[in-house]
């Protein structure tokens, strides 16, 4: 499958940088296409901890390769930990710091903790699924406090996305 590289400029704020987006040759969109990229920042939005897979990582604002190289990125416009809605976090499985290398080992009931501003919020895994890179619906808002993690799948490939869903328990 041939990929085309497209450079987009988004001038909504001075924090947004150009986007290198991927479009399939058949015209379908992927996760990377059209997502506002926040300039790489040293500001940490939160810290994610998943004891089952021995993972702790900072969460940075934005979804970009520069952010993923440092840790986990938060999809722009999604809520803060503990708030109602769908907080969406992405990360690498095989490159950079590989925070989501083993998210495929998570099962319903496993705990994911997000800490921010001196508070810790615990989410219990409810499901996992494998989707196409065009399945942007995983970022859709929810009425309850939901956490969505995503990473490329299978490991070392970008042909699919591995998604873990979790619900706030405290």
**Does 21 map to a domain?**
no
Report if residue 109 sits inside a domain: yes
How many structural domains comprise the chain? 1
Tokens found for residue 105: 């080992």
User: Is 59 in contact with 41 (CB distance < 8 Å)?
Assistant: no
Contact 149, 49 (CB under 8 A): no
Distance separating alpha carbons of residues 81 and 62, to the nearest angstrom:
15
pTM greater than the 0.85 cutoff: no
Residue 62: inside a domain, yes or no?
yes
Reported as a pLDDT band with limits 50, 70 and 90, residue 95 is confident
Q: What are 123-170's pLDDT values in tens digits?
A: 999 999 999 999 999 999 999 999 999 999 998 888 999 999 999 997
Q: Which two tokens stand for residue 10?
A: 């988004």
Q: Is residue 49 part of a domain?
A: yes
Domain membership of residue 14 (yes or no) is no
Instruction: Determine, yes or no, domain membership for 53.
Output: yes
Beta strand 85-90 with 145-153 is parallel
> How far, in Å, CA of 2 to CA of 127, rounded?
32
Strands, E assignment, the chain: 3-8, 16-17, 19-24, 37-38, 46-50, 55-61, 72-74, 85-90, 111-116, 119-131, 145-153, 160-168
Contact 34, 21 (CB under 8 A): yes
> Residue 127: which CATH number?
2.40.260.10
- Cβ atoms within 10 Å, residue 102: 16
Residue 153: predicted pLDDT: 92
Note whether residue 36 is domain-resident: no
pLDDT in tens, 15-68: 222 222 333 344 444 444 444 444 444 567 899 999 999 999 999 999 988 999
Domain with 51 in it: 42-168
- Is the previous residue joined to 154 through a cis bond, with omega within 30 degrees of 0? yes
């Amino acid at each position: 499958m041939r990929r085309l590289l497209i450079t987009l400029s988004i001038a909504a704020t001075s924090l947004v940088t150009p986007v290198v987006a991927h479009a399939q040759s058949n015209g379908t969109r992927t996760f990377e296409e059209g997502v506002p990229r926040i300039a790489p920042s040293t500001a940490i939005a939160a810290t994610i901890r998943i004891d089952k897979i021995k993972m702790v990582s900072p969460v940075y604002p934005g979804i970009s390769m520069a952010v993923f190289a440092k840790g986990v990125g938060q999809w722009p416009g999604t809520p803060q930990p503990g708030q109602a809605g769908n907080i969406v976090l992405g990360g690498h499985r095989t490159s950079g710091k590989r925070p989501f290398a083993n998210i495929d080992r998570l099962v319903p009931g496993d705990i994911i903790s997000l800490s921010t501003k001196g508070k810790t919020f615990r989410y219990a895994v409810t499901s996992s699924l494998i989707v196409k890179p065009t399945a942007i619906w995983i970022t859709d808002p929810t009425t309850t406090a939901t956490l969505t993690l995503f990473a490329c799948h299978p490991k070392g490939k970008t042909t699919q996305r591995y998604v873990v869903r979790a619900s706030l328990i405290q």
